[in-house]
Amino acid sequence: MSNVYTVAVLVGSLRKASINRKAALALAALAPSNLKLEIVEIGELPLYNEDLDVSPPAAYSAFRQRVGAADALLFVTPEYNRSVPAPMKNAIDVGSRPYGKSCLSGKPGAVFSASPGAIGGFGANHHLRQSLVFLDVPCMQQPEAYLSGAGTAFDEAGNPSDTVKPFLQTFINAYAKWVEQHKKS
């Protein structure tokens, strides 16, 4: 693997100490040398409003530029009410508009969901995948990544537990191969 690919990482939880932010940072630390993961913050994006695209807010433009410059996408999200959190959906809406000018299209992607609950964000993971199909983001199918019981998966410093680390490593290694295989030239 000779190329290094930049991965825009969107974290669906806005809390600084969120489980999903810890997971994203742990995945970045475990990433093979052909991936450079960079969290792109989504919390300051105004709610998507097509009227704003006449003269887009600076936050829209900066977000679209950062995501557009990335080679690949990684979505790391909790589950809220059996779906994706509002900030994640808003980021997807901002990135996919104006219609026909999506900064997401064609970039290889993957979804990682984590939750303290028993099903690891399964609903959010699959709702997000539905949007990605429409947005032409080829999404890695295997291994699926649902981290259940995630409240104890990381220590205070964000280090993954010895039982979780191999799961994260397997996922990020597979994703590196997925990006290598599906990156548009």
The sheet with strand 146-147 has its strands ordered as 35-39, 5-11, 72-77, 109-114, 146-147
Q: Parallel, antiparallel, or unpaired: how do β-strands 72-77 and 109-114 relate?
A: parallel
Torsion of the alpha carbons at 19, 112, 45 and 52, rounded to the nearest 10: -160
Q: Are 113 and 121 in contact (CB under 8 A)?
A: yes
Q: Are 124 and 117 in contact (CB under 8 A)?
A: no
- The answer for residues whose C-beta is within 8 angstroms of residue 133's C-beta and 6 or more apart is 139
CA distance 75 to 115: 14
CA distance 121 to 77: 8
* Bridge partners of residue 73, in order along the sequence: 8, 109
* Bridge partners of residue 39, in order along the sequence: 9
Q: Which domains does the chain have, with CATH numbers?
A: 5-182 (3.40.50.360)
pLDDT by position in tens, the chain (length 185): 469 999 999 999 999 889 999 999 999 999 999 999 999 999 999 999 999 999 999 999 999 999 999 999 999 999 898 999 999 999 999 999 999 999 999 999 999 999 888 888 889 999 999 999 999 999 999 999 998 888 899 998 999 999 999 999 999 999 999 999 998 75
